[in-house]
Structure 1
Amino acid sequence: MKESISNANFPRDAEDRVYHISVKTGDVANRVLTVGDHVRARRIAKHLDSEEETGHPIFEKQSQRGFLTITGRYKGVPVSIMAIGMGNCMMDFFVRETRASVDGTLAIIRFGSCGSLTTEAPPGAVVVPAGGYCIRRNIDYFADEPIHPEIKDHAYLFSGVFKADDEITDILSSTLNEALAPVVAETHKVGPVLTGGLNADGCSFYSSQGRQDEVFWDDNKDLVEEIHTKYPNTHSIEMETSMLFHLARCARDPTKPIKAAGCMQVFADRVNNAFIHPDQVDILEPIVGQACLDALIKIPIENEMEAVGTVWEPISK
């Protein structure tokens, strides 16, 4: 560690950058597209306006802990593209520390990948969930001496549902359908866009998503069936999007709301045990990435930050 850190409760360095994603106020725009993969983030960032068009360079910051922030303008509108890695804790770092670095409404679209739990979403489809819930491995179930006897028979715990933002979800769904329609008409390799269902967030890629591993004690062979029983309208399963919806719901400052939506490419068909082909990803990812940006700039923002003092402020010449 090279920086001097203050405030153990919410750590920041001497330049007021938050501890894990390493940004400060003025580095991140009110509209954010978040992905897991930094390679995907850089590909999408190629759509941003050039320095000649905007009058300022594209900002890029890679934190020591692997978070990537790219901020610029898309069709003249300030946006940030942020790669955060995988899992609930990475989403927690990202949402809390981004929220602390942005004034006004924070609008977030997540673009990720997922497993499908329905025949309506084969590999190459895009899922836009209306809400999501979380599945957590009950660590106490596996303990020699459990201290919570009331849940000792449940290896996995299900949460209630957290809704996505209706307005952003509608904008995202219509933008994706419009962008993908010509390609879907030409080829059966991608599509459809499936909306209106739920996303399940596992706390891991393996046990809490029902993947079988003979090396570990998981007691999860009936987990997918339990998902269908508890929430029959579950379309997708992954590790981040429901956590995003949960944290958006828990943002309590009325002057700093978080509005969130998400879409995921179906990579793993958990019904038929199939996986997406690289050719499908090559077709799908650029279209969905740009469609997410197109949706992002349509989102109305209350109390949007002024450009003065930010990384998207045009430089006087």
Structure 2
Amino acid sequence: MIENIFNANFPRDEEDRVYHLGIKQGNVANRILTVGDHVRARKIAALLDPEEETGHPIFEHLSQRGFLTITGRYKGVPVSIMAIGMGNPMMDFFIRETRASVEGTMAVIRFGSCGTLSHLAPPGAVIVPSGGYCIRRNIDYFADEQQNPELKDKPYVFSGIFKADDEMTTILADTLKTVMAPVEAKYDFVGPVLTGGLNADGCSFYSSQGRQDAAFWDDNANLLRDIITKYPKTHSLEMETSMLFHLARCARDTQRPIRAAGCMQVFADRLTNSFIGPDAVKVLEPLVGKACLDALIKVKIEDEMPVAGTVWEPANEKRLQSL
């Protein structure tokens, strides 16, 4: 760390950049596509309008903590593509620090990968959940001296359900179905698009998603069965999307809401223990990435940030303002 940081409660530097993402107001658009993987983010960013059309360069910032922000225009609409890594804590960093850096409504679509618990969504399918919940490893259960007797027999704890934004989810699902239909007809290892179910976020990739590891004490042999018993409509297992829905629900400022939707390409079939092949990923990933951008720009936002002073302000407008 070389810059001076202010406010230990919500750290920022002298230029008002938030601590972990390294961004400030004007760096991130109201419409955001978030992914986990930097490589995936940059592949999708290749679809953004070129500088010759927009009159401004595409903004890119990789923070010291590994958060990648790419902002430009897609079909003329300002959008940001942000790679955040994996897990609930990374989603928390992303949502809170982006919320502090964006004026007006935030519309966020997450594009990730997942495991499936539905025979209707084999590897190569795409899942668009209507809501999600979280599964937490109960650390106290594994302690020598437990402090929560009411949970002494529960190695894993389930949250309630957090809904995705209905309108955004419909837009995303319809867009995906439209772009996927001809590809599904061509390749038997891609599709379908499965909607209407729930996503489960584990607090880890391993124990709280029911993966067996003889090297650790996890008590999760029955976890997949417990998931289906408690929430029979569970279609997918991963680590970020339900946390996104949860944080959107907990955003207090009604004048600056967070709207959220998500989709995941199925990589792992947790019922049969099979995994997606590279040919399917090669076809699926660019298709879904483009569909997410197409869906995102269809979302209407009445209170978008003014263009002046942003990284997507055309250079000729900046020159006019300086005269």
Tell me the TM-score normalized by structure 1.
Answer: 1.00
Measured after TM superposition, the shift of residue 255 of structure 1 is 1.0
Alignment of 1:1-317 (within 5 A): 1-316=1-316
SS across alignment from 1:201: strand
SS across alignment from 1:96: helix
SS across alignment from 1:98: helix
Measured after TM superposition, the shift of residue 143 of structure 1 is 0.4
**Separation of aligned partners in 1, 2:150 and 2:285:** 45
Residues 99-135 of structure 1, C-alpha deviations (whole Å, 9 max, x = no match): 0000000000000000000110000000000000000
Residues 48-84 of structure 1, C-alpha deviations (whole Å, 9 max, x = no match): 0000000000000000000000000000000000000
Measured after TM superposition, the shift of residue 302 of structure 1 is 2.6
**Separation of aligned partners in 1, 2:302 and 2:223:** 42
Runs of 4+ in structure 1 off by over 3 angstroms are none
**Separation of aligned partners in 2, 1:144 and 1:31:** 47
SS across alignment from 1:264: strand
Identity of matched residues, %: 75
**Structure 1 residue identity aligned to 2:67:** F
Alignment size in residue pairs = 317
SS across alignment from 1:2: coil
SS across alignment from 2:307: coil
Measured after TM superposition, the shift of residue 137 of structure 1 is 0.2
SS across alignment from 1:91: helix
Residues 253-281 of structure 1, C-alpha deviations (whole Å, 9 max, x = no match): 01110000000000000010000001000
**Structure 1 residue identity aligned to 2:115:** G
Residues 184-226 of structure 1, C-alpha deviations (whole Å, 9 max, x = no match): 0111110000000000000000000000000000000000000
**Separation of aligned partners in 2, 1:22 and 1:179:** 35
RMSD across aligned C-alpha pairs, in angstroms?
0.5
- Structure 1 unaligned residues grouped into runs of 5+: none
SS across alignment from 1:170: helix
SS across alignment from 2:124: coil
**Structure 1 residue identity aligned to 2:94:** F
